Structure 1
Amino acid sequence: MEKEPILTVKDLSIAFHMYDKGLEQYDLKVISNLDLDVYSGEIVAIAGSSGSGKSLLAHAVMGLLPENALLSGTIAYKGKILDLADKEKLRGKELALVPQSVAYLDPLMSIGTQVSGKGAPKKKVTLQKKIFQRLQLKENVEKLYPFQLSGGMARRVLVSTAVLSGADVIIADEPTPGLDLEMALETLKIFRELADEGKAIVLITHDIDLAFHIADRVAVFYAGTTLEIADANDFLEGPEALRHPYSKALWKALPQNGFEPVPGFQPYAKYLPGGCLYFPRCPHRSDECEKKIPMKNVRGGRVRCIYAD
C-alpha cells in the first residue's frame, strides 16, 4: 500500500433539511463524524446493518446527494479535497460506482452502449465481451435493453460498467444480491483482481462472510458513524481480535458463530444518543460513554470506544 490513502473521508456528517408538522423545518442528521481511508491496491469492506450510512457514504463520495442534503467534513481524492464540481468531473472516470439499484441503467439505451460507450474502440469492446463471458452474460445481451434483463443480469451489467470505466476507485454498493453463490464469488474475484492491479475498492455488503475472505480491511458502521476499522483477518480470528463491542456482537450474530442477538435496536437518526451511538445497547457502558468519543489507534486498527485496548 502507498503511504497516503487515495480516498480519505474525515469527520463526515450529512443532514437532510426536512419539514415536520405545520411546515416546521429541521435538519435530520443521518451521518455523524464518519471516518474512512482507502489505499490503492486494497479492498475495504463496509459492514453494518441497514440504515447505518453505507450507501449514503457512496453517494456523498460520488456527488449524488439530493439538493436538501447538508454536508460537512472532508472527502479527499489523491490528497485533494473535493467539492461537488470536482466529483462530477471525476465521476465515471476516476471514481466509479456500482449502484445498489438496477434502476440506474438507462431504459432507453442498449446494454452494449451503456457498458462500453457509443462508438467504443475495438479494444474496449473486446474487453467488454471478456467480462460478459466471465459473468455468464451471453453475447446478445449487449443488444438488449434493461427491461429485457433479469435482476441478476442487470446487476452483472452494472459491475461490468464499473470495471470497464478504468477508474482508480470503485465503490461497489451491494453488488452480489440476486446472484447465486458461484456468480457472487466470481464477482468478488474480479474486484480482488482489480485491487491486486492497483485499484482501490470500497465494497459495501451485507454478505459479510464473503467480504471477510476477499477484503483487506473491514470498516464497521453503526447509526451513521464508523465504530471500527480492522484487518479482515481480525474478523476471521474472532471477537478476541476485535476492538469494539458492536464488532464483537456482529461477529457473534453470524449463524456459524451462534446467531446471538443483541437486545435493543439501532437508534433512529432523529433521536440519536449523545456520545457513543452504541451506548444504549452496550454491556460495558458508563457515564463516560455519553461524551464525544474520537477514533483512536488500538492494536493495529482504529476504534471509537474509550474502553478498547
Structure 2
Amino acid sequence: MNDSAMEGTPAPSHGHAHADASRHPGGHHLLRIEHLSVSFRMYDSSEPFFSAQHVEREQIHDLSLSVHAGEVMAVVGASGSGKTLLADAVMALYEPNARITGSIKFEGVPRDAAGLAALRGHGISLVPQSVTNLDPLMKVGEQIVGACGRGKMGRRRRAERRTRMLELFAQYRLDPEVQDRYPHELSGGMARRVLLMCALMDAPRLIVADEPTPGLDRELAVRALSDLKAFAAAGGGVLLITHDIELALEVADRIAVFRDGTVVEEVPVAAFASPEMLSHPYTRALWHALPSHDFFADAAEGGMGR
C-alpha cells in the first residue's frame, strides 16, 4: 500500500489517510485488517486430469485496510477481481480449501475465524449481493424476524423482534403490510431495504455490504446506499464493496482501491478532486476513466484492463 501523501490530501496516520467522518472511539479502529492473504488449495488445471498435483492459488495478497466508526469505507475494483473474498474473510465464510493468513481486529480485539463467526449477526452484519438471498417461499416479515425458538422465551423474543422490525419499517419508509408479502411481490428497491433491515435487526456495529446495488437504476442505488450512509452517521461503520466507483464517490467517506488481490491506495474521497492528489498510477487511471473527467485511462498510469 502506498502511504505517501500528496499535497492537498490529509497526511497519513498509522498507515492511512482520514476523512472528516473518521473517528477512533476507544482509541482504536472499528475494523482493522492487516496483511490479509487468502489462497486456495486445488488441483493444477494445467496438468492431466488424473495425475494433476495440488497447487495453492493466492487470490488476496497482503491486503490492509481499516474502517472507522462513523464512516463508509468503499473498496472499489473491477468485477470478478476477488473483492467478495474480502467480505467472506471478514464474515469468516471460508471454503474448506481456503488458507487465510494475516490479522483482523474488531473494536480493537484480534479475532480468529471462530471469533469472527461468533460476531455474525452479533456485531457484524452482511448485506449480500443479490436479493435472491431472500427465501422465495417465506414471507418477508418471517425472514426479518428470524428463528426465535419455542416456549415462553421464544414468544417473548419474537414479540421483541417484531417490534424492532416495525421500527425499521418506519425508519426505511416501508408500509407494515410488506411483512406479509413474498419476495417476488417486492420492487427491487424494497427488496434491497429488506436485506438491509435483516442486517440491522441485531443492532450491528459494522455492516459489510457486498455489491448491494446490482440491477438498480442510479436513483434507486443512491437511495439504497443513503440508508447505509445514515447508519454510519449514527455511529456505525460500513465496508462497501463495489465495482461502481462513481456511486462510491457519492456515498463513501474514504476509498480503498483494489487491484490484483490487494489494496493499492486508501484515501479520503476528497482526494479524488484531482489526479495530482492520488499517489498510485492505477488510482489515477481510475480518475481519468470517469465519464465526468477525460474518460481515458493512460496505459502509462496503470491501465484499466485488470
Output the TM-score relative to the length of structure 1.
0.78
> In 1, distance between residues paired with 2:281 and 2:301?
10
CA-to-aligned-CA distance 1:21-61 (integer Å, 9 cap, x gap):
33321111000000011111111111111233321101110
Match of 1:125 in 2: 165
> In 2, distance between residues paired with 1:156 and 1:125?
12
> In 1, distance between residues paired with 2:265 and 2:41?
29
Cα separation, partners in 2 of 1:181 and 1:202, compared to 1, 3 Å: same
Is the CA contact 2:165–2:197 (under 8 Å) kept in the aligned structure 1?
Answer: no
SS in 2 for 1:256: coil
Match of 1:15 in 2: 39
> In 2, distance between residues paired with 1:16 and 1:40?
32
Match of 1:90 in 2: 119
Offset at 1:202?
0.8
Cα separation, partners in 2 of 1:67 and 1:281, compared to 1, 3 Å: farther
Larger RCO of the pair (alpha carbons < 8 Å, separation 6+): 2
Offset at 1:149?
4.2
> In 1, distance between residues paired with 2:139 and 2:122?
20
Match of 1:156 in 2: 193
> In 2, distance between residues paired with 1:205 and 1:120?
36
Cα separation, partners in 2 of 1:120 and 1:205, compared to 1, 3 Å: farther
Output the TM-score relative to the length of structure 2.
0.79
Verify: 1:27 aligned to 2:56, yes or no: yes
Offset at 1:14?
0.4
Cα separation, partners in 2 of 1:51 and 1:243, compared to 1, 3 Å: same
SS in 2 for 1:160: helix
SS in 2 for 1:234: helix
Cα separation, partners in 2 of 1:41 and 1:245, compared to 1, 3 Å: same
Stretch moving more, 37-46 or 254-263: 254-263
> In 2, distance between residues paired with 1:152 and 1:180?
9
Verify: 1:43 aligned to 2:67, yes or no: no
CA-to-aligned-CA distance 1:197-253 (integer Å, 9 cap, x gap):
110111112232232132111100001101000011111x12011110000000111
Percent identity between the two aligned chains = 43
Match of 1:64 in 2: 93
Is the CA contact 1:132–1:139 (under 8 Å) kept in the aligned structure 2?
Answer: no
2:143 is aligned, of 90, 98, 114, to 114
Cα separation, partners in 2 of 1:188 and 1:152, compared to 1, 3 Å: closer
Offset at 1:179?
2.2
Verify: 1:142 aligned to 2:190, yes or no: no
Offset at 1:116?
2.8
Is the CA contact 1:115–1:128 (under 8 Å) kept in the aligned structure 2?
Answer: no
SS in 1 for 2:104: strand
Letter in 1 for 2:250: H
Number of aligned residue pairs: 263
2:133 is aligned, of 104, 125, 140, to 104
> In 1, distance between residues paired with 2:267 and 2:192?
29
Letter in 2 for 1:54: K
Is the CA contact 2:285–2:302 (under 8 Å) kept in the aligned structure 1?
Answer: no
SS in 1 for 2:292: helix
> In 1, distance between residues paired with 2:271 and 2:243?
18
Stretch moving more, 149-158 or 50-59: 149-158
Structure 1, unpaired ranges of 5+: 264-279, 284-309
Cα separation, partners in 2 of 1:151 and 1:27, compared to 1, 3 Å: farther
> In 2, distance between residues paired with 1:282 and 1:108?
47
SS in 2 for 1:31: strand
RMSD, aligned α-carbons: 2.1
Is the CA contact 1:176–1:184 (under 8 Å) kept in the aligned structure 2?
Answer: yes
Is the CA contact 1:152–1:178 (under 8 Å) kept in the aligned structure 2?
Answer: no
Offset at 1:150?
5.1
